[in-house]
Amino acid sequence: MKQALVDDTEDVSLDFGNEEELAFRKAKIRHPLATFFHLFFRVSAIVTYVGCDWFSRSFVGCFVTVLLLLSFDFWSVKNVTGRLMVGLRWWNQVDEDGKSHWIFEARKVSPNSIAATEAEARIFWLGLIICPIIWIVFFFSTLFSLKLKWLALVIAGISLQAANLYGYILCKMGGESDISKAAASFLSQTVFQTVSD
Residue 97 binding another protein, by CB under 8 A? yes
Comparing CA positions, the residue from 19, 28, 185, 47 lying closest to residue 121 is 28
Side chain identity at residue 90, one-letter code: W
Q: Does 5 bind another protein (CB under 8 A)?
A: no
75 makes contact with another protein (CB under 8 A): no
> Which lies closer to another protein via its Cβ, residue 125 or residue 139?
139
* Helix pair 151-173, 32-50: axis angle to 10 deg: 150
For 1, 7, 15, 22, 42, the CA distances from 11, given in Å and listed in that order, are: 18, 9, 13, 22, 52
Residues sharing a CB contact under 8 Å with residue 48, sequence separation 6 or more, in sequence order: 55, 62, 65, 66, 69
Interface residue with another protein among 126, 133, 152, 183 (CB under 8 A) is 152
Judged by CB under 8 A, the residue of 60, 144, 175, 197 near another protein is 60
User: What 3-state class would DSSP assign to 108?
Assistant: coil
Closest separation in Å from C-beta 20 to another protein: 41
Q: Nearest distance from residue 52's CB to another protein, in Å?
A: 5
Binding of another protein by 145 (CB under 8 A) = no
Q: Are 64 and 55 in contact (CB under 8 A)?
A: no
Among 18, 56, 141, 159, binds another protein (CB under 8 A): 56
| Interaction between residue 109 and another protein (CB under 8 A) | no
Residue 26 near another protein by CB under 8 A: no
Q: Figure out which of the listed residues 3, 9, 13, 100 binds another protein, where binding follows CB under 8 A.
A: 100
Sole binder of another protein in the list 40, 63, 104, 139 (CB under 8 A): 63
Please state, in angstroms and as integers, the Cα–Cα distance from residue 113 to each residue in 14, 25, 96, 109, 116, following that order. 20, 10, 34, 6, 10
The neighbour count for residue 135, using CB atoms within 10 Å, is 24
Site string for another protein, 157-186 (x = CB under 8 A): ------------------------------
Identify residue 55 by its one-letter amino acid code.
Answer: F
What residues make contact with another protein under the rule CB under 8 A?
52-53, 56-60, 62-63, 92, 94, 97-98, 100, 147, 149, 152
